[in-house]
Structure 1
């Protein structure tokens, strides 16, 4: 196996190091976060850092990079308090990835891709039409991370759309049936397949001799 100590990591080529460290965390969720500015300009951007934080209340978090440059998603969320999380699926991978391009705040990524906006009456921000799982989020908290300037943004699920065929009797969402993607590193997309579900685990009873 290759071994990279801290000194070696610090001396690596910049792009090589980014790819290496980003890939080392394993497969990550792939989502499009939809927002709209207070002036009514929609925005959608790909994120691989969405995480579940709790079910009661239902909370999701994501990491936004330092605000030393404009971050339209973060700015819109802070101004309106509303956003959506939409699962990326096989048919939209290329358009979803293009949303990572740095467009000016006056340009909607919906206008430069084939991604389509969808709305419901309760949410100001756009959903991504066709996404098999769509979450209406309300901003709750932010936690700046001093170590690298990133920000953990925490939101509460106000509404949840799930395609009927993905939802199982026990509440489980089978993402593989929706061909939902995962991200390996920065730019590699894969479509996972479900191998098996396992029951809740309890400690084994030890047999004394």
Structure 2
């Protein structure tokens, strides 16, 4: 049996029900810990599921932030310094990753027991345990008129990948890396590969690659 919610029903629903429903509709989402550092040298770490590919040439990524109506250390550090890191999460530390969403006065790294790592003289910290680490510099910031959400676009400066998860064609084997995904706001999953399929063409049958 299908449940139906129209717009008015969604808006009239309990606020926590509406939040959880809408946040779950897009299905499984990528999970990254975003690492930043203030000009004063205080490090910050926060989980984000709204991280997405913008382009490959040049290599760009986007992050969506909630409206900047309250103090948001990650966004403020990026705007002040121009640098941030993206770090995949694994089963070994997904609970610590979740806990970084709490509001701490000092570094989330220290608060949840995750080690910082600095690579290639990059300003912002990486998560030492992460199997995929991406260093980014700020390229653009836009405030979306529809609801005040902030879009940050970063240029990829460095990529560090555990060798076991890097295929010859450049794609990542997320199963081998143990990358965790998230649905909604608080439910974590390990991926299960079905298949890699060939590029779709109208005159050719699909095949596994």
Q: What TM-score range do you get, normalising by the shorter chain? A: over 0.9
User: C-alpha distance in 2, partners of 1:199/1:114?
Assistant: 42
User: C-alpha distance in 2, partners of 1:157/1:174?
Assistant: 20
| 3-state secondary structure, aligned to 2:70 | coil
| 3-state secondary structure, aligned to 2:79 | helix
Count of aligned pairs between the two proteins: 203
| 3-state secondary structure, aligned to 1:169 | coil
> Over residues 78-129 of structure 1, what are the superposed CA-to-partner deviations in whole Å (9 max), with x where a residue is unaligned?
111111000111111100001111223xx10011112110001331100000
State the partner residue of 1:160. Answer: 159
> What is the 5 A alignment of 1:44-123?
44-104=45-105, 107-123=106-122
User: C-alpha distance in 2, partners of 1:16/1:62?
Assistant: 25
| 3-state secondary structure, aligned to 1:70 | coil
Runs of 4+ in 1 over 2 A off after TM superposition: none
Mind listing any 5+ residue stretches in structure 1 that lack a counterpart?
Answer: none
State the partner residue of 1:200. Answer: 199
Contact 2:104 2:111 in 1 (8 A): no
> What is the 5 A alignment of 1:172-183?
172-183=171-182
> Could you say what the CA RMSD is over the residues aligned between the two structures, in angstroms?
0.9
The answer as to 2:58 corresponding to 1:41 is: no
> Over residues 6-49 of structure 1, what are the superposed CA-to-partner deviations in whole Å (9 max), with x where a residue is unaligned?
01001100101000010011110000000000000000000000
State the partner residue of 1:124. Answer: 123
TM-score of the superposed pair, with normalisation by structure 1: 0.95
| Per-residue deviation, 1:132 | 0.8
User: C-alpha distance in 2, partners of 1:121/1:195?
Assistant: 36
User: C-alpha distance in 2, partners of 1:185/1:58?
Assistant: 28
User: C-alpha distance in 2, partners of 1:145/1:77?
Assistant: 18
User: C-alpha distance in 1, partners of 2:58/2:140?
Assistant: 13
User: C-alpha distance in 1, partners of 2:19/2:116?
Assistant: 32
TM-score of the superposed pair, with normalisation by structure 2: 0.95
The answer as to 2:32 corresponding to 1:31 is: yes
User: C-alpha distance in 2, partners of 1:121/1:40?
Assistant: 18
State the partner residue of 1:11. Answer: 12
Mind listing any 5+ residue stretches in structure 2 that lack a counterpart?
Answer: 205-209
| 3-state secondary structure, aligned to 1:189 | strand
